[in-house]
Amino acid sequence: MTETRQIVLASRPEGTPTPENFRLETVTLAEPGEGEMLVRTIWLSLDPYMRGRMNAGKSYAAPVEVGGVMEAGCVGEVIASRNTWFASGDIVQGPFGWADHAISDGVGVRKIDPNVAPIQTSLGVLGMPGITAWVGLNTIAEAKAGETIVVSAATGAVGGVVGQLAKAKGLRTVGVAGGQEKCTFAVQELGYDACLDHRATDGAGLAAQIAEAAPQGIDIYFESVGGTTLEGVLPNLNDHARIPLCGMIAWYNGKGIDTAPPLPLIWRNILTRRLRVQGFIVFDHFHRFGDFLTEVAPMVADGRLRYRETVTEGLENAPGAFLAMLEGGNFGKTLVKVGPDP
Amino acid sequence: MTETRQIVLASRPEGTPTPENFRLETVTLAEPGEGEMLVRTIWLSLDPYMRGRMNAGKSYAAPVEVGGVMEAGCVGEVIASRNTWFASGDIVQGPFGWADHAISDGVGVRKIDPNVAPIQTSLGVLGMPGITAWVGLNTIAEAKAGETIVVSAATGAVGGVVGQLAKAKGLRTVGVAGGQEKCTFAVQELGYDACLDHRATDGAGLAAQIAEAAPQGIDIYFESVGGTTLEGVLPNLNDHARIPLCGMIAWYNGKGIDTAPPLPLIWRNILTRRLRVQGFIVFDHFHRFGDFLTEVAPMVADGRLRYRETVTEGLENAPGAFLAMLEGGNFGKTLVKVGPDP
């Protein structure tokens, strides 16, 4: 019998979540049954999509129930196993939730080779955010050398990979990020041709800056934000531009919805500029994970693809780290270190 | 020297156009120069896109200048020619404008064979609206047998063709139109499986009706309207649905923009349902005109593909017919009979 701490959804947020929406509990886990294993969490991934899971009502995935453990991708160590495919001592990545320990039946779990890259990259550049970037750029946007891409949340877990993969492919890359520090990092460390601070201006001001940074116009807008960034992008889109859409974090908490541009304006742009706006959810593309790793893992291993992490220590601090991330307080991939390295 | 009547843009409309935005003039045309020809207009096509040309500012095409002749596709007879490719007596389709006669240099002009179908079909089912329907359904939406399509403006010049081509392809077809008469026609004459009247309800009511008429959900929404129709469609879209977007007539005059759903709601739907919203302008696809005619002309010739026309007699009545069309007062293809048959 294993005692574990876990963080549950205490109540559903109205608009911006608060610490009171979460509750830390200690429970006793049953022994792993036939086919199950006990995993000790080392790294916990915090991602914007979790905000959606806190709401009632079906989206593309079912919501977390009130009183249920918050969902998350994690990296952990198998410490007891009655599952054929996993053994004690294995390092695994899987949906173990916001908890110190979890019982897993192995569904959605994969072994991680610690020799390829630091194990927590399986939650970032070599995990869900990484393949989101790779699929969005290649499959959804069909990026081509010589085009210009604008990347929202340019230094985020997804955006940072988009910008670097696009640059490697021969595109002009323009990032948009919140704050000068992120913009400097985007250009100096991630190799963006330019990066613009959406916090220092408004939609019209950003539009003017983008016009300068993207003198040939925008062929691809990698959209995970909405809000001011989208307003700045819209007037600069070329005919036949593509907008792969995998998030809209600026609007997740309900803020800014009233002041967003009216739908007919977007509709008119889609029509007259022949835009293709395409939503995608990375889960639909996990069958391509092998192809993704084949291409991108070597780039991480030899340092061509760089990444940054914001690490918070301690499961009990996960809610605070999550709330900060929703406001852009993170830098790169947001992680919680839940337990010691193996 | 030929005297001609022509209708010019007298002033730019603010919101809904009025008769005062147009002016009928009589001018004297110069003789056709080298490479030119004189055309007598027989049929004048009225299309929703013309509303956009009345506004200042570049859209996908330049606006009509104040004082300039209103643009239109027409069918006419060549009555004098110094152009190698066209001879007196030829029936031609081309951009001759709102006028009794026009001088043309042959650009954008093609000969019409009066034996294939009535010559004015080159402005409708076998012309720009027809290929819009064909390209939108096949190239943009990639329609497949067994899917469900909802067609806005279901009895219009474009929508009527979309519905029939989709039905022939094996899709379930649900139309949305303005008024019971159009809905009855859509089902009885055009073969729609169902047709719903957006004027008899609101967005939520229409959504409930669509849910009944499309029990498997919507795979394709053929969008040329916006407004209430779009509101009714949104909650019924399946994952991976496609929205080919070639118009938004409900919003052309600026009405309903304030009450349109907020952009973040659309963005959320695009994201969570992995929608593909793709604008298209038929002019980009005119190189496929031959393929289109090869497939669709026989369907018109043998009556498999049906169409309806609203004909107004006399050039001087074109503005009134145009204004009525913008309010949905037409039925099928809107035409003005400007001169006698050849």
Cα separation, A47 vs A61, in Å, equals: 15
Q: Which two tokens stand for residue B260?
A: 């349109």
- Reduced to 3 states, what is the DSSP secondary structure of residue A31? coil
* pLDDT tens digits along A15-29: 899 999 999 999 999
Cα separation, A198 vs A177, in Å, equals: 6
Mutate to test the interface with B, among A263, A278, A284 (most CBs of B within 10 A): A263
Cα separation, B75 vs B96, in Å, equals: 8
Inter-chain CB proximity A248 and B268 less than 8 Å? yes
* Bridge partners, A75 (sequence order): A43, A93
Q: Which residues of chain B have pLDDT under 50?
A: none
Alpha carbon distances (Å) from A96 to A3, A7, A42, A107: 15, 12, 11, 10
DSSP state, residue A83: -
CA distance A47 to chain B (A): 16
Residue A38 pLDDT: 97
Which residue in A has a C-alpha nearest to residue B269's C-alpha? Answer: A279
Cβ–Cβ < 8 Å for A265, B256 = no
* Helices and strands in chain A, H and E counts: 9, 15
Question: Residue A58 pLDDT > 80, yes or no?
Answer: no
Inter-chain CB proximity B276 and A279 less than 8 Å? yes
Cβ–Cβ < 8 Å for B199, B175 = no
In CATH terms, is domain B128-282 a member of 3.10.20.600?
A: no
Which residues of B are less than 8 Å from A277 in CB distance?
270, 275-278
- Find where tokens 């220092």 sit: A200
Cα separation, A294 vs A299, in Å, equals: 9
Write the Ramachandran bin of A15: left for phi over 0, alpha for psi from -120 to 50, otherwise beta.
Answer: left
Residue A212 pLDDT: 98
Inter-chain CB proximity A263 and B265 less than 8 Å? yes
Of the candidates B57, B14, B69, B26, the residue with the CA atom closest to the CA atom of residue B319: B69
Local confidence band at A61 (pLDDT 50, 70, 90 cut-offs): confident
The enclosing H or E element of A38 equals strand A37-46
- Find where tokens 């007259």 sit: A272
Residues from A in contact with B at Cβ < 8 Å: 52, 59-60, 226, 239, 245-248, 251, 256-258, 260-281, 284
User: What residue spans define the domains of chain B?
Assistant: 2-124+308-337, 128-282
Average the pLDDT over A168-195 and give the result.
97
Cα separation, A324 vs A178, in Å, equals: 13
CATH class of domain segment(s) B2-124+308-337:
alpha beta
Inter-chain CB proximity B60 and A239 less than 8 Å? yes
Local confidence band at A307 (pLDDT 50, 70, 90 cut-offs): very high
Length of chain A: 342
- Reduced to 3 states, what is the DSSP secondary structure of residue A256? coil
Residue B320 pLDDT: 97
Cα separation, A41 vs B117, in Å, equals: 73
Which residue in B has a C-alpha nearest to residue A256's C-alpha? Answer: B264
Which residues of B are less than 8 Å from A262 in CB distance?
257-258, 260, 262-263
Average the pLDDT over A319-329 and give the result.
93
Cβ–Cβ < 8 Å for B67, B139 = no
Q: Which two tokens stand for residue B160?
A: 């009527």
Residue B258 pLDDT: 83
Alpha carbon distances (Å) from A192 to A134, A181, A189, B307: 17, 14, 8, 54
Inter-chain CB proximity A284 and B261 less than 8 Å? no
* pLDDT tens digits along A198-237: 999 999 999 999 999 999 999 999 999 999 999 999 999 9
Which residues of B are less than 8 Å from A278 in CB distance?
270, 274-278
CA distance A51 to chain B (A): 13
Residue B259 pLDDT: 83
Inter-chain CB proximity A273 and B266 less than 8 Å? no
CA distance A270 to chain B (A): 5
Looking at domain A2-123+308-337, which of 3.30.70.380, 3.90.180.10, 3.30.1300.10, 3.90.550.10 is its CATH number?
Answer: 3.90.180.10
Return the percentage of chain A with pLDDT > 90, whole number. 92
Alpha carbon distances (Å) from A67 to A27, A54, A58, A64, B298: 13, 11, 17, 8, 64
Mutate to test the interface with B, among A233, A274, A282 (most CBs of B within 10 A): A274
CA distance A248 to chain B (A): 8
Residues 6+ apart with CB under 8 A from A217: A148, A236, A237, A238, A241
Of the candidates B262, B269, B279, the beta carbon closest to that of A271 is on: B279
Mutate to test the interface with A, among B142, B240, B277 (most CBs of A within 10 A): B277
Cα separation, A84 vs B248, in Å, equals: 57
The enclosing H or E element of A3 equals strand A2-9
* pLDDT tens digits along A150-163: 999 999 999 999 99
Residues 6+ apart with CB under 8 A from B4: B26, B27, B28, B29, B99, B100, B101, B102
Local confidence band at A257 (pLDDT 50, 70, 90 cut-offs): confident
Which residues of B are less than 8 Å from A276 in CB distance?
276-279
Of the candidates B226, B269, B271, the beta carbon closest to that of A267 is on: B226
Residue A271, number of CB atoms within 10 A of its CB: 24
Average the pLDDT over A36-51 and give the result.
96
Cα separation, A180 vs A199, in Å, equals: 9
Residue A254 pLDDT: 82
- Reduced to 3 states, what is the DSSP secondary structure of residue A226? coil
Inter-chain CB proximity A267 and B284 less than 8 Å? no
Alpha carbon distances (Å) from A178 to A196, A200, A250, A310, B104: 8, 8, 11, 15, 55
Paired sense of beta strands B37-46 and B74-81, if any:
antiparallel
Residue B58 pLDDT: 74
Which residue in A has a C-alpha nearest to residue B264's C-alpha? Answer: A257
Residue B329 pLDDT: 86
Mutate to test the interface with B, among A255, A267, A273 (most CBs of B within 10 A): A267
Q: Which two tokens stand for residue A68?
A: 């249920």
**pTM score over 0.90:** yes
Local confidence band at A266 (pLDDT 50, 70, 90 cut-offs): very high
Length of chain B: 342
Inter-chain CB proximity B262 and A260 less than 8 Å? yes
Inter-chain CB proximity A279 and B271 less than 8 Å? yes
Residue A117 pLDDT: 93
Inter-chain CB proximity B267 and A284 less than 8 Å? no
Q: Which two tokens stand for residue A136?
A: 């969005």
CA distance B292 to chain A (A): 21
> Secondary structure of chain B in the HEC alphabet?
CEEEEEEEECCCCCCCCCHHHEEEEEEEECCCCCCCEEEEEEEEEECCHHHHHCCCCCCCCCCCCCCCECCCCEEEEEEEECCCCCCCCCEEEECCCCECEEEECCCCCEECCCCCCCHHHHHCCCCHHHHHHHHHHHHHCCCCCCCEEEECCCCCCCHHHHHHHHHHHCCEEEEEECCHHHHHHHHHCCCCCEEEEHHHCCHHHHHHHHHHHCCCCEEEEEECCCHHHHHHHHHHEEEEEEEEECCCHHHCCCCCCCCCCEHHHHHHHHHHCCCEEEECCHHHHHHHHHHHHHHHHHHHHCCCCCCCEEEEECHHHHHHHHHHHHCCCCCCEEEEECCCCC
Cα separation, A169 vs B236, in Å, equals: 38
Which residue in B has a C-alpha nearest to residue A49's C-alpha? Answer: B272
Angle between helices B159-169 and B128-135 (to 10 degrees): 40
